[in-house]
A and B are shown apart, each in its own frame.
Chain A
Amino acid sequence: MEDFVYFFTFQDPSILWVVLGITLLGIGSAYVGTFSFLDKKALLGDAISHAVLPGICLGFMMAGEKNPVYIVTGAFLSGGVATFLSSWLKRNTKLSDDTIIATILSVFFGFGIVLLTSLQKSGNPEIAGLNSFIFGNAIGISEADLMLYGGLSLAIIVVLTLMLKEFRLMVFDPQYGKAIGFPMKFISFLFNVLMILAVVIGIQAIGVVLMAALLITPGAAARFWTDRLNPLLILAAVFSVLSGILGTYVSFVLPQMPTGPWVVVFLSMFALISFLISPKSGILFRYFSRKKYLRKTHRDHLMKALYKAKEEGKDGLLIEEIYELYPFQKAETDKSIRDLNKIGFISKNQSFINLTEKGISEAMRIVRLHRLWELYLNESMNIAPDHVHDSAEQLEHLITPELETLLEKRLNYPILDPHREPIPRPDKP
């Protein structure tokens, strides 16, 4: 708890710096990553982030120490070579995208590890810091490094904001962009540059192995919540920044803990939560709305049974008679009866159940929709009367008042359904 207060009150200016840096980095990479996720180039980010390792090592060799400018330049160049190679291979060979990405990723990363191992053998005391590039260490970043990374992040954010409409066009319809005379080749080149930059500035905090997660996961998680680009970008940035700060906090509290994996843990949590509970596309949401719908179906059917009993001249039904209608569904039936009683559609007198006034008009509506739909299928779609019942049984719960009016008009307010049963309507006063 003490750590928590200490960390989040930012008494330590160096923590404030790190949090600020992580925030900018999070926004920048979520921003770029969301575009590449929408462009279906998620794997390219992964390839680039692995491919910067040899550049980092070469930069270190050239400088002889952990100089951020050398390292960023080296990383940027080797990321650039990887990107160029992958598009060159795509143009000039018949290899598929995934083959190219997998090859680039493993070749560059393998070469990087070779360089890193030989550097470790060289006995340079500065080498210790280089290991943090694999899994990232946000706490260990010096202020000078942070200035550089933060500045680059800011540049990414500014360019993407200024050219939002151009990048939107690049992802949605590049052919059209070309047709209206936009320099689409330059725009996608610029996007690649931003993508490599985002990877390069993230590697010290997150590490080459996991950087792709910071690019892609925020956008993928945010996609569950919104169907518009601007909210999507903002939400992705929020997820990314929160995970970044939380990950940094963990690696601050637990010594020797790398930042990258923890950031990814928090990001995955956001993604999992989005996957489960987001409205419309979340699976829990879908599960419950389906369940709710099935309950309504069951209630509607029960009301119909009571209405038919009324048509046959009975006042209502005994609960045993209702149980018999739905064998093996006693629990559901009990629940439906309880719910209908609560809404006031039925009244229960010991084991005798009958419809209330309110219930009669609702039941009449369901029966009417059922029979109207049967008639529609029979008249307009030429389906035999003995084949229309099942479909009507499913669809009577869906038909809206608007559709009902259309059906009535289309069928010219019919009196009988295909089974010669009356289509009930409330008496006009």
Chain B
Amino acid sequence: MITQVENPVLEIHDLTVSYDQNPVLWNVDLSLPAGSLVGILGPNGAGKSTLIKAVMGLITPTSGYVKVFDKPLNDVRARISYVPQRESVDWNFPASVLDVVMMGTYGKLGLFRRPGKKEKELALKCLEQVGMSGFAGRQISELSGGQQQRVFIARALAQEADLYLMDEPFAGVDMSTETAIFQLLQEMTASGKTVIVVHHDIHSAMTFFDWLIMLNLHLVASGPKELVMNEEMLRKTYGGKLNLLTRVTDLIRQKDFNPLKS
């Protein structure tokens, strides 16, 4: 059940990704329309984070390619914004909330140039959008998990991009904050931006997303929510890993050599 679109914002062509000798995503092939709120669903270890890391070029794929706005990634990086998982950084780093959000402006500044007054104002505006204006001067280690998550979203907003990739931005966020952030994301997509979110909860996924990608080591489904969200697709996604595929992966690991890598 894979719906392809004309003039996609993001095109993933036959993408295979391996960690060391271990293939974690097999031949993903999909395209996404502009201005939609896209959810990536799948069980633990299905390769959801891996997919968006590969899109961002943080992992080199074994084969296949990614095109964003019909161009190679490096030509359009300024138009893409990335929210990594909250646990990927050390929150004890000596910095204020504002310092972190200002990092969102680094990409446009480029090397050597320092953020100034304009960048500061932008950062404050983005903090306001996520409802964290009162926290600008706060040391980041004093924040709760949900607040840290919102700081990361504010940092992504400060990039003023057209495509947003978010890796589990709702992990550790309470219900009311989740709804508020979803509303913010819906406003963004209404104004033509595309937002792709790795997500866990099927229930809220049903409510908020327009488009769903379902992963379980391979691409199970990609398409408008109404077409994709049905019992068969959910069973294929969450009903356990394909037994044979797992056996082959194990075999590759034992050989200590990945035949998929040329």
| A interface list, Cβ under 8 A from B | 38, 40, 162-166, 168-169, 171-173, 175-182, 223, 226-229, 232
Contact across chains for A228 and B88 when beta carbons are under 8 A apart: no
Contact of A171 (CB < 8 Å), options: B56, B93, B96, B141? B93
Known: A228-B95, A228-B99; 18 extra A-B contacts, CB below 8 A, are A163-B112, A166-B111, A168-B95, A172-B93, A176-B82, A176-B84, A176-B103, A176-B155, A178-B56, A178-B58, A179-B57, A180-B77, A180-B82, A180-B107, A181-B77, A181-B107, A227-B96, A228-B94
User: A10 → chain B, closest Cβ, in Å?
Assistant: 35
Q: A168 CA to B80 CA in the complex, in Å?
A: 21
B159 within 8 A of A: yes
A-B contact pairs, 5 of them (CB 8 A): A172-B89, A180-B107, A181-B78, A181-B107, A227-B139
User: B63 → chain A, closest Cβ, in Å?
Assistant: 21
Q: A168 CA to B106 CA in the complex, in Å?
A: 11
Q: From known contacts A175-B84, A181-B74, infer whether A163 and B111 are also in contact, taking CB-CB under 8 Å.
A: yes
Please give the number of chain B residues whose Cβ is less than 8 angstroms from any Cβ of chain A in the complex.
30
For chain A, what secondary structure do more than half of its interface residues adopt (helix, strand, loop), or is it mixed?
A: helix
B114 within 8 A of A: yes
By a CB distance below 8 angstroms, the chain B residues around A171 are: 93
Q: A176 CA to B166 CA in the complex, in Å?
A: 12
Contact of A173 (CB < 8 Å), options: B84, B109, B159? B84
B231 within 8 A of A: no
By a CB distance below 8 angstroms, the chain B residues around A162 are: 112
User: B132 → chain A, closest Cβ, in Å?
Assistant: 18
Q: A177 CA to B77 CA in the complex, in Å?
A: 11
B90 within 8 A of A: yes
Q: A163 CA to B114 CA in the complex, in Å?
A: 9
User: B153 → chain A, closest Cβ, in Å?
Assistant: 13
By a CB distance below 8 angstroms, the chain B residues around A40 are: 90
B145 within 8 A of A: no
| B interface list, Cβ under 8 A from A | 56-58, 74, 77-78, 80, 82, 84, 88-90, 93-96, 99-100, 103, 106-107, 109, 111-112, 114-115, 139, 141, 155, 159
Q: From known contacts A178-B57, A180-B77, infer whether A223 and B111 are also in contact, taking CB-CB under 8 Å.
A: no
Contact across chains for B94 and A223 when beta carbons are under 8 A apart: yes
Q: From known contacts A173-B89, A179-B56, infer whether A165 and B94 are also in contact, taking CB-CB under 8 Å.
A: no
By a CB distance below 8 angstroms, the chain A residues around B84 are: 173, 175-176, 179
Specify the chain B residue showing the minimal Cβ separation from A163: B112
Contact across chains for A169 and B103 when beta carbons are under 8 A apart: yes
Q: From known contacts A178-B58, A181-B74, infer whether A229 and B94 are also in contact, taking CB-CB under 8 Å.
A: yes
Specify the chain B residue showing the minimal Cβ separation from A219: B94
Q: A115 CA to B159 CA in the complex, in Å?
A: 54
User: B141 → chain A, closest Cβ, in Å?
Assistant: 8
Contact across chains for B111 and A175 when beta carbons are under 8 A apart: no
Contact across chains for B88 and A175 when beta carbons are under 8 A apart: yes
Contact of B94 (CB < 8 Å), options: A173, A181, A232? A232
Q: A228 CA to B141 CA in the complex, in Å?
A: 11
Q: A164 CA to B111 CA in the complex, in Å?
A: 10
User: B167 → chain A, closest Cβ, in Å?
Assistant: 10
Q: A165 CA to B103 CA in the complex, in Å?
A: 8
